[in-house]
Amino acid sequence: NAGVMQNPRHLVRRRGQEARLRCSPMKGHSHVYWYRQLPEEGLKFMVYLQKENIIDESGMPKERFSAEFPKEGPSILRIQQVVRGDSAAYFCASSPQVVSEQYFGPGTRLTVT
């Protein structure tokens, strides 16, 4: 059973470009969570999704950030017009049920130059 997959593992973008981060949950998991880890900081919750639904996006910046989890395909975290402060590691986690341990992917390290 493959674990949570994320790609790309490393992404470099210039200021103003768009970044798209992908996450495929573990087989059988329908709950997806995105977290951001800034340098010297702990992981911070961003958004929780189920298939075709955003359940809670209270941790997402109000502008430039969006997330989706379509019926088919991976979950996507999209950052428009990236700025240097967006540089961080973005982790995706999945769980089989909402009240269950979350399993993490390897993360995407975004660098904005």
Partner 1 sequence: EDKVVQSPLSLVVHEGDTVTLNCSYEVTNFRSLLWYKQEKKAPTFLFMLTSSGIEKKSGRLSSILDKKELFSILNITATQTGDSAVYLCAVEAGSGGSNYKLTFGKGTLLTVNP
Q: How many residues bind partner 1 (CB under 8 A)?
A: 27
CB of 93 closer than 8 Å to CB of 75: no
By CB under 8 A, is residue 56 in contact with partner 1? yes
DSSP conformation class of 69: -
Binding partner 1 by CB under 8 A: which of 48, 65, 69, 90? 48
Name the residue type at position 43. L
By CB under 8 A, is residue 45 in contact with partner 1? yes
Tell me how far, at minimum, the Cβ of 21 lies from partner 1, in Å.
14
Name the residue type at position 44. K
φ, ψ (nearest 5 deg) of residue 85? -65, -10
Q: Distance between CA 74 and CA 99 in Å, rounded?
A: 22
The site for partner 1 (CB under 8 A) is made up of: 3-4, 31, 33, 35, 40-45, 48, 55-56, 59, 91, 93, 95, 98-99, 101-107
